[in-house]
């Protein structure tokens, strides 16, 4: 199973912290709602767009190739979401980290590159939602 992490840098954390303080009670709910729903979907789509294309015929395989299906699931936690592979697609570990690269194009890091590609958008949207919700309260 492979997982990837979306992390905020120190500057982003300070900006988000400021918005949380201004928002007050309920900020945690707003962030969880965004991370567990829209953010998770955006991360999975971004990762899926970077998946390697299989040259094997999927008709001879037990499962469809990852690039033509949805091989990821999300695990939700308080103020976080984990995107990981479904059990049938744990083999994606090998091209992602570079293991067993005799026949594969390894070390592609498509999981992390996919999350990194949408990280700024996710941060901005979280802050926008907090600002918008705070304005609704006022």
pLDDT digits (tens, 9 = 90+) for 64-119: 656 657 888 899 999 889 988 888 877 776 666 655 555 555 667 778 888 889 99
**What is the number of structural domains in the chain?**
1
Q: Which has the closest alpha carbon to 71: 105, 17, 120, 111?
A: 111
Average pLDDT over residues 49-71: 65
Residue 84, domain extent: 3-137
pTM above 0.75, yes or no: yes
Angle, helix 110-137 to helix 40-48, in steps of 10 degrees: 150
Q: What is the structure's pLDDT at 121?
A: 94
Element (H, E) at 75: strand 72-77
Vertex 121 angle, CA 119 and 127, to 5°: 105
């Amino acid at each position: 199973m492979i997982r990837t992490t979306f992390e905020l840098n120190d500057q982003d954390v300070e900006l988000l912290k400021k918005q949380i303080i201004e928002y007050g009670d309920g900020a945690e709910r707003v962030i969880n709602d965004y991370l567990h729903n829209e953010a998770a979907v955006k991360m999975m789509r971004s990762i899926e767009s970077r998946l390697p294309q299989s040259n094997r015929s999927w008709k001879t395989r037990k499962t469809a190739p990852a690039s033509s299906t949805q091989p990821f699931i999300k695990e939700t936690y308080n103020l976080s979401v984990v995107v990981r592979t479904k059990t049938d697609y744990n083999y994606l570990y090998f091209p992602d980290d570079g293991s067993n690269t005799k026949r594969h194009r390894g070390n592609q890091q498509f999981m992390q590159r996919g999350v990194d590609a949408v990280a700024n958008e996710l941060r901005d949207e979280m802050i926008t939602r907090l600002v918008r919700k705070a304005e609704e309260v006022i």
